[in-house]
Amino acid sequence: DLLPSLPKVIRKGEKATFRIGGRIINKAINTQEVAVKEKHARNILILSKGAHTFWAAVNRLPLSSNAVLCWKFCHVFHKLLRDGHPNVIKDSMRNKADLTDMSRMWGHLSEGYGKLCSIYLKLLITKMEFHIKNPRFPGNLQMSNRQLDEAGENDVNNFFQLTVEMFDYLECELNLFLGVFSSLDMSRSVSVTAAGQCRLAPLIQVILDCSHLYDYTVKLLFKLHSCLPADTLQGHRDRFQEQFKKLKSLFYRSSNLQYFKRLIQIPQLPENPPNFLRASALSEHISPVVVIPAESSSPESEHVVETDDLVDTDVPVSQEGTDTKFDDLFGTSAAIDPFNFNSQNGMRKDDKDRLIEQLTREIQALKEELESFRLESGRLCQALRGRVSELEAELAEQSHLRLQAVGESEFLKAELDDLRKVREDTEKEQRSLTEIEKKAQANEQRYTKLKEKYTELVQSHADLLRKNAEVTRQMTVARAAQDEVEAVRKEMQEKVKAAQEAADRQVRMGDINIGQSLEVLSTQLAALVSEKAELEQSMSKVEAELAVRVQELEQVQTSLATERESGVKTAEALQNQLNEKESREQALESQLVAARWSSLQGAVEEAEKIIQDSLAQIDDPAHISCTSSADYLASRCQASLDCLDRLHSARGAFVANSTGERTQLVTQCGHLVGDSIVQGSATSHMVPVEQADGECVCVCVSDNGKLKAALEAILATAEKLRPRGLELQQGELGDLVEQEMAATSAAVESAAARIEEMLNKSRAVDTGVKMEVNERILASCTELMQAIKELILSSKDLQRDIVESGRGAASMKEFYAKNSRWTEGLISASKAVGWGATVMVDAADLVVQGKGKFEELMVCSHEIAASTAQLVAASKVKADKDSANLHRLQQASRGVTQATAAVVASTKSGKSQIEETDTMDFSSMTLTQIKRQEMDAQVLVLELETRLQKERERLGELRKKHYELAGVAEGWGQEEEGEEKEHLYTD
């Protein structure tokens, strides 16, 4: 009779459920090196409707200090992810960062359970990410072919990506498989020892996952090969081949272990992997099926050969049956258990009566405990509701800050784009200058080579001239020898002629000694003939040598004329190139000067655009919600003045030699001046209207007057806007509080009247959807104004109680003066509420007219929520916790929060009704174009995530600085205000 009531106890008693679940989890996850008992894991699955109870118990375990404990946690968590409630995966994602850190920590160990825990944790993280990204896949991965097709949404790109994710998933499973086997000594019967079973037990879940992943991967690859070219899927096939070999080997090794034979029937993969290039091979594929016997023995029932204390003796054999359900549920079955009815038939009647009475008393005690649980649950629910309200208010403030950060991010994005353009222009000019310098160096080298060539030609010309002179001298000698030969020839001819004439005369005279004379003459004639022959031979040699010399002279003269002509042409070409180089250098120098001046002019124009953009932001409605402190404004103005001084000092260097850092200084100065303008406008939002107008005048002067004088004027105004602290007189603070509260009430009343007027006007002019949207938005704004009125009245009543309580002060003004910092905080909060109401009405007016943005109205609503939260905190910091007016103020604050949420909701609803959502047209896009855009979108998402992370860090730093400045301005650091600050943070 007790067992049917137990589920009701578990459902109704949250604390009892947590305690019972914690007991079961602690029994399953312990430091003993034995396998997790199946009944404990099964009971955890029965109790889990999510992962809250599981993680609440696990977070108390020292998982980071005990590797065996962490290993068994991974086993239980893996089984919970596979067979538990679908909410387990979503509830566990918030612990992803802790699991990642734990995996990284255990990864420093190179062996034992530490390394296995690191691999197992990576697998669990991959499994959660896969199921979150692919919610159609259940935790146990069991899907039909139709469901698998639906998961890809009939898109080849989705199937392609899904296959890659399955490869990664299966890779993690195989890494754990290999890690466990590599940590075991396979030469021994490890599967029958407690330590071996502890390591092998989680592989049952891994085998189940691997069988499904292998089957789905094969089917998806066949589908992809039917749509895409084989070359595109070469990487998929290679990866599948590698995983197929590993999985086949691991399945075979696991099937031979004694431990698995009684718990699971492991399938065997085919001898060869499927041939995806042949479509008909799909019909030959057989899905691997893992069979788990219906009544399989749990790991704790295996025979253990180590020590007696490793054997599970909790459940005797005689207790197996229906009477062990209570033990199976709570994990205890001791022989002295009062709920053990196994030996009831052998008891006496008195024993049964005593047992019934004992059970009755225990049931009554359980009922009382259940009632106490119910009361405690009610109290906790009430406390949680209050906490939820506080969190909603905090969420509203965080949403406002997020929207403000988004606005700042957009501004920074635009500024970054401008900087990128300036940088690109500067880089182009720098590249141009570099190219000009390279051309100048090349021309210089060419000039040097031409000069060397010219010198070589001059030297060759001189050598030719010397050679010409030598040849001319030799020709003169040859001509002299020829003249001498001619003279000898003429002389010999004259001698021969004279001899012949003498002979003729002697013949005619008839000399007696004619015979003797003839003999003498013959002898003389022979001598003359011989001499003539010798002279003719010598003359022939001289003529031959003379001919050779003439020929050489002609060749030398021809070569000399050619060389001279070539030298003249080369000299003229060199002179032309030298002139061209000089003109080009002058042109490059002028281009360099022009480029530098152009760069400076571009920097000046960019600085002017930055300043103009900053001036335009003053009138931007989205900028109205931005605020800044006078101290920060003063620091920006001082930095701008310092930059102007450096810019003036760099002017002389730039004019003298066109160098210096003036271009960078101009851009930097533009940014600093623009920032000073924006911060000046933001500072004006936190001060009274008169002072704000004065500051705006100083900003506008920067357009018409001298920039330095305008910045000095802004700096002087910022000094005036610094918090006055205790400088005010006692009477001034008291009067100022009343004035600000009255001004706030008047501003709220005026805003409510304007909203009513806009509502009437909208009903008279607008029709259809626009009228419906405007009425809903203005009605929610009216409700918000009514809630703010109630908040202001409650705040006044609470302040009156605080002042009347006195806390030692003699009068109201003395009380305000004594607590000046608290008073100034109250004044600041009142100003913020009134200003927020006015700005929200302006934004609503623009939205109704169709000229404004819905986002501005939502930002203004969040700003009002933050301002009212500030007013509540400032009002109740000195109040008594049991004050009725304090309770009324808190109720009014909740009303403002709810009204703000209503404004945001009505605004979002109206926006969705009016605006149309653009959809992308994929009809004219090819697969390659879609894939390209997908890759571009992924790159953009990564860039935006990185940018978002950096902006969040920057927002945190800005918020921290804002709190520090606010603390200085409101005196949070003073010792006499320490108690007030503590109350403020506590509340």
Please give the Cα distance from 364 to 358 (Å, whole number).
10
Q: What is the pLDDT of residues 869-878, one digit of tens each?
A: 777 777 776 7
Q: Which of 14-18, 47-51, 174-178 is predicted least confidently?
A: 14-18
Predicted confidence (pLDDT) at residue 74 exceeds the cutoff of 90: yes
Predicted confidence (pLDDT) at residue 120 exceeds the cutoff of 90: yes
User: CB–CB of 556/468 below 8 Å?
Assistant: yes
Predicted local distance difference test score (pLDDT) of residue 132 = 93
Distances (CA, A) of 796 to 316, 433, 474, 667, 736: 74, 70, 132, 51, 14
**SS3 of the chain: helix, strand, coil, percent, to 5:** 80, 0, 20
Predicted confidence (pLDDT) at residue 698 exceeds the cutoff of 60: no
If you search the block for the tokens 């890809």, which residue do you land on?
152
Give residue 651's pLDDT band: very low, low, confident or very high (50, 70, 90).
low
pTM of the model: 0.36
Question: Which residues, 6 or more positions from 947, have their beta carbon under 8 angstroms from its beta carbon?
Answer: 409, 413
Query: Can you give the length of the chain in residues?
Result: 987
Selected residue with higher pLDDT from 808 and 477: 477
Question: Which residues, 6 or more positions from 146, have their beta carbon under 8 angstroms from its beta carbon?
Answer: none
Predicted local distance difference test score (pLDDT) of residue 123 = 95
User: CB–CB of 201/75 below 8 Å?
Assistant: yes
Average pLDDT over the chain, rounded to whole? Answer: 76
Q: Which of 896, 864, 899 is nearest to 793 (CA)?
A: 896
Highest mean pLDDT: which range of 143-147, 557-561, 617-621, 967-971 = 143-147
Q: Which of 217-231, 268-282, 800-814, 973-987 is predicted least confidently?
A: 973-987
Predicted confidence (pLDDT) at residue 978 exceeds the cutoff of 50: no
Please give the Cα distance from 967 to 962 (Å, whole number).
8
Q: Which of 987, 627, 676 is nearest to 832 (CA)?
A: 627
| Virtual torsion, Cα 157, 162, 164, 169, nearest 10 deg | 170
Tokens of residue 810, six digits: 């003699």
Please give the Cα distance from 116 to 197 (Å, whole number).
14
Q: How many CA atoms lie within 13 A of 587 on its CB side?
A: 9
Please give the Cα distance from 477 to 863 (Å, whole number).
118
Predicted local distance difference test score (pLDDT) of residue 216 = 94
Q: Which of 56-70, 297-311, 848-862 is predicted least confidently?
A: 297-311
Please give the Cα distance from 119 to 663 (Å, whole number).
55
Question: Which residues, 6 or more positions from 550, have their beta carbon under 8 angstroms from its beta carbon?
Answer: 475
326: enclosing H helix or E strand: helix 325-330
Predicted local distance difference test score (pLDDT) of residue 18 = 64
Selected residue with higher pLDDT from 95 and 333: 95
Q: What is the largest CA-CA distance in the chain?
A: 211
Tokens of residue 659, six digits: 């160098």
CA 678, 947, 955, 643 torsion-angle sign = negative
Predicted local distance difference test score (pLDDT) of residue 453 = 77
Predicted confidence (pLDDT) at residue 739 exceeds the cutoff of 80: no
Q: What is the pLDDT of residues 300-349, one digit of tens each?
A: 444 333 333 333 333 333 333 333 443 444 444 333 343 343 443 444 45
Beta bridge partners of 291: 265
Highest mean pLDDT: which range of 61-65, 693-697, 852-856 = 61-65
Please give the Cα distance from 643 to 717 (Å, whole number).
20
What is the identity of the amino acid at 143? M
Q: Which of 226, 159, 172, 244 is nearest to 202 (CA)?
A: 172
Predicted confidence (pLDDT) at residue 729 exceeds the cutoff of 60: no
What percent of the chain has pLDDT above 90? 12
Q: What is the pLDDT of residues 857-871, one digit of tens each?
A: 777 777 777 777 777
Q: Which of 699, 642, 705 is nearest to 676 (CA)?
A: 699
Predicted confidence (pLDDT) at residue 779 exceeds the cutoff of 70: yes
Predicted confidence (pLDDT) at residue 722 exceeds the cutoff of 70: no
Please give the Cα distance from 186 to 209 (Å, whole number).
24
Please give the Cα distance from 404 to 625 (Å, whole number).
8
Q: Which of 110-114, 194-198, 539-543 is predicted least confidently?
A: 539-543
Question: Which residues, 6 or more positions from 734, have their beta carbon under 8 angstroms from its beta carbon?
Answer: 812, 813, 816, 817
CA 724, 727, 733, 736 torsion-angle sign = negative
Please give the Cα distance from 204 to 221 (Å, whole number).
26
Work out the burial of residue 516: count CB atoms within 10 Å of its CB; fewer than 13 is exposed, 13-18 middle, 19 or more buried: exposed
Q: What is the pLDDT of residues 487-541, one digit of tens each?
A: 877 877 787 778 777 767 766 665 545 656 567 767 777 777 787 777 777 777 7
Highest mean pLDDT: which range of 123-137, 383-397, 628-642, 953-967 = 123-137
Please give the Cα distance from 42 to 50 (Å, whole number).
15
Please give the Cα distance from 117 to 29 (Å, whole number).
14
Predicted confidence (pLDDT) at residue 575 exceeds the cutoff of 90: no
Q: How many CA atoms lie within 13 A of 319 on its CB side?
A: 18
At residue 355, the 3 state secondary structure works out as helix
Predicted local distance difference test score (pLDDT) of residue 14 = 55
If you search the block for the tokens 């933001």, which residue do you land on?
682
At residue 523, the 3 state secondary structure works out as helix
Predicted local distance difference test score (pLDDT) of residue 237 = 92
Question: Which residues, 6 or more positions from 870, have their beta carbon under 8 angstroms from its beta carbon?
Answer: 828, 829, 832
Please give the Cα distance from 224 to 276 (Å, whole number).
9
Question: Which residues, 6 or more positions from 27, have their beta carbon under 8 angstroms from its beta carbon?
Answer: 37, 40, 331
Residue 301 is classified by DSSP as G
Predicted confidence (pLDDT) at residue 122 exceeds the cutoff of 90: yes
At residue 415, the 3 state secondary structure works out as helix
Query: In b/e form, how buried is each residue of 875-891, taking b as 16+ CB within 10 angstroms?
Result: bbbbbeeebebbebbbe
Please give the Cα distance from 798 to 872 (Å, whole number).
10
At residue 265, the 3 state secondary structure works out as strand
Give residue 15's pLDDT band: very low, low, confident or very high (50, 70, 90).
low
Residue 728 is classified by DSSP as S
User: CB–CB of 170/156 below 8 Å?
Assistant: no
Beta bridge partners of 265: 291
User: CB–CB of 775/891 below 8 Å?
Assistant: no
Q: What is the pLDDT of residues 353-394, one digit of tens each?
A: 888 888 888 888 888 888 888 888 888 888 888 788 778 877
Helix axes 349-509, 927-970, angle to 10 degrees: 110
